[in-house]
């Protein structure tokens, strides 16, 4: 089966960030795209405006009768429970069913594929690279794990010679890809409910690295062989050096195997983003994108939604970020310290998954202790059932802070309104983003 030979493309979990990029891909090729998602969101509303028909109830009568195994491809995310009625209907009636990663593998396998893997950093890195190629008018398609501020979408297309995609380690999905070029940003253990232990997690990344057929770029210090390294003042093959901050904006030079490229400008916060940019520049340089085009695109890059998005409202600073792993949380807090020394920072954090909270309880507790005051929300379960003893209350007991409390998402806004702060930060990968508009409106009215 050729991936574009069907009339209908039915997505189970179509509102997910990775799934929605694929949905937009098929819509671009004038296919009829429809499907199910658990809850309506700002993203699903945008998809519906683009002509992608989604519903939010798992009922068989929502499946159009004109869908047949011959005219329809069903695409699902592994996060969807297999007992779901719609999934079982398609399975039992002989419809072709593919995981998101399998579809992505089919699309990218027929092009010059670039895959970005890593526990964290892959969305920003792939977004910067996709933007550089798109802005430089290189024929490319990018499937991204975040909505780019420059374009208000997670899908870019200006041709199909090159594809950029995130290589998701969840469910070992990235082993379905066979890229020409690979980037590995990080290998901090995660998804231990699937992998079991850190060693198995790292071994799977090594397996992914062995699937790269042409060139691999790896952050310096990771246990991967036969790769070009990149880093920040680390002695890597591609190394960001002479880093300076001018008016809150990063300027840096890039040492390459061929010499030094001077004066790149990045308007994102934190040295971790300089590192992400370095990886993207290294690949663009390898692809022989002119350096001046790379510089121009990088300076114009405005970031990814929910990746340290900042608003200055009535003398207060509000920041929202997707961080949901201790290392990511630490990067957010380091950026806050660098940008707002001496300011009182109120953190609002929503843990994501019972298993991740269990596996990294100590790391979360240590990092959350660096806020001045903390509102801790209930754990967002996503695909999981509760685990005995794994609660936000248990996590709160381990946090070394005098000013801390645990509340539900519904209670959070009222609690925030009672607090004194200079900087407010909402952090997490669940549905904490539903607080963003109410917080901005409240600050605007205050």
Q: Rounded distance, CA 423 to CA 437, Å?
A: 16
Q: Rounded distance, CA 404 to CA 424, Å?
A: 14
Do residues 281 and 264 make contact, with C-beta atoms less than 8 angstroms apart?
yes
| pLDDT at 335 (0 to 100) | 84
How do the pLDDT tens digits run along the chain, 446 residues long?
689 999 999 999 998 888 999 999 999 999 999 999 988 888 999 999 999 999 999 999 999 999 999 999 999 988 788 899 999 999 999 999 999 989 998 998 889 999 999 888 899 999 999 999 999 999 999 999 889 999 999 999 999 899 999 987 767 777 888 899 999 998 876 655 666 677 777 888 889 899 999 999 999 999 898 999 999 999 999 999 999 988 778 999 999 999 999 999 998 888 889 999 999 999 999 999 999 999 999 999 988 887 788 898 999 999 999 888 898 898 899 888 888 888 999 999 999 999 999 999 999 999 999 999 999 999 999 878 899 999 999 999 999 999 999 999 999 999 999 999 999 999 998 889 899 999 999 999 98
H helix or E strand, kind and range, residue 284 = helix 271-286
Question: Residue 233 class from Cβ within 10 Å (0-12 exposed, 13-18 middle, 19+ buried)?
Answer: middle
Q: Rounded distance, CA 371 to CA 325, Å?
A: 16
| pLDDT at 193 (0 to 100) | 60
Q: Rounded distance, CA 176 to CA 104, Å?
A: 8
Domains in the chain with CATH codes: 8-100 (3.40.50.720), 111-300 (3.40.1190.10), 309-445 (3.90.190.20)
pTM to 2 decimal places: 0.80
- Cα 395 to Cα 16, 59, 374, 378, 408: the distances in Å are 28, 38, 12, 10, 14
Do residues 266 and 249 make contact, with C-beta atoms less than 8 angstroms apart?
yes
Do residues 75 and 22 make contact, with C-beta atoms less than 8 angstroms apart?
yes
Taking alpha carbons only, the member of 204, 186, 187 closest to residue 195 is 204
SS3 content of the chain, % helix, strand, coil (to 5): 35, 25, 35
Do residues 178 and 213 make contact, with C-beta atoms less than 8 angstroms apart?
yes
- Cα 285 to Cα 178, 237, 263, 293, 296: the distances in Å are 21, 13, 15, 10, 14
| pLDDT at 188 (0 to 100) | 73
Q: What backbone torsions phi and psi does residue 417 show, to the nearest 5 degrees? A: -65, -15
Q: Rounded distance, CA 55 to CA 440, Å?
A: 29
Q: Which two tokens stand for residue 42?
A: 């700002």
User: Partners of 33 in the beta sheet?
Assistant: 9
- The pLDDT tens digits for 349-369 are 999 999 999 999 999 999 999
| pLDDT at 1 (0 to 100) | 62
| pLDDT at 310 (0 to 100) | 85
| pLDDT at 196 (0 to 100) | 61
Q: Rounded distance, CA 117 to CA 372, Å?
A: 33
């Amino acid at each position: 089966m050729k991936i574009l030979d069907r009339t209908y493309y039915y997505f189970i979990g179509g509102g997910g960030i990775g799934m929605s990029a694929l949905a937009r891909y098929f819509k671009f090729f004038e296919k009829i795209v429809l499907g199910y998602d658990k809850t309506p969101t700002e993203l699903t509303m945008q998809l519906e405006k683009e002509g992608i028909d989604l519903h939010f109830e798992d009922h068989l009568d929502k499946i159009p009768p004109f869908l047949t195994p011959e005219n329809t491809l069903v695409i699902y995310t592994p996060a969807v429970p297999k007992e779901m009625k719609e999934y079982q209907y398609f399975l039992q009636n002989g419809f072709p069913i593919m995981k998101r990663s399998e579809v992505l593998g089919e699309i990218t396998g027929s092009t010059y594929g670039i895959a970005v893997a890593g526990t964290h950093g892959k969305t920003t890195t792939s977004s910067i690279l996709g933007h550089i190629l798109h802005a430089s008018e290189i024929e490319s398609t990018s499937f991204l794990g975040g909505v780019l501020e420059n374009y208000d979408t997670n899908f870019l297309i200006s041709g199909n010679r090159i594809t950029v995609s995130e290589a998701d380690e969840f469910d070992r999905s990235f082993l379905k890809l066979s890229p020409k070029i690979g980037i590995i940003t990080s290998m901090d253990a995660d998804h231990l409910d699937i992998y079991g232990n850190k060693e198995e997690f790292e071994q799977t990344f090594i397996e992914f690295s062995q699937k790269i057929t042409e060139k691999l770029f790896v952050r310096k210090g990771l246990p991967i062989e036969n790769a070009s390294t990149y880093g920040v003042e680390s002695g890597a093959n591609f190394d960001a050096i002479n880093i300076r901050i001018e008016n809150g904006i990063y300027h840096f030079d890039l040492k390459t195997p061929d010499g030094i490229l001077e004066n790149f400008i990045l308007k994102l916060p934190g040295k971790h983003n300089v590192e992400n940019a370095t990886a993207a520049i290294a690949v663009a340089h390898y692809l022989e994108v002119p350096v001046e085009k790379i510089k121009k695109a990088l300076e114009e890059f405005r970031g990814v939604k929910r990746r340290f998005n900042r608003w200055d409202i009535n003398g207060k600073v509000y920041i929202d970020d997707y961080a949901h792993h201790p290392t990511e949380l630490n990067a957010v807090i380091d950026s806050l310290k660098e940008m707002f020394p001496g300011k009182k920072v109120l953190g609002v954090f929503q843990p994501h998954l019972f298993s991740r909270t269990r596996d990294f309880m100590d790391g979360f507790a240590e990092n959350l202790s660096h806020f001045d005051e903390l509102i801790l929300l209930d754990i967002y379960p996503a695909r999981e059932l509760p685990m005995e003893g794994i609660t936000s209350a248990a996590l709160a007991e381990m946090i070394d802070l005098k000013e801390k409390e645990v509340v539900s998402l519904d209670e959070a806004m009222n609690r925030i309104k009672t607090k004194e702060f200079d900087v407010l930060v909402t952090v997490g990968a669940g549905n904490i983003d539903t607080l963003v508009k109410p917080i901005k409106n409240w600050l605007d009215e205050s």
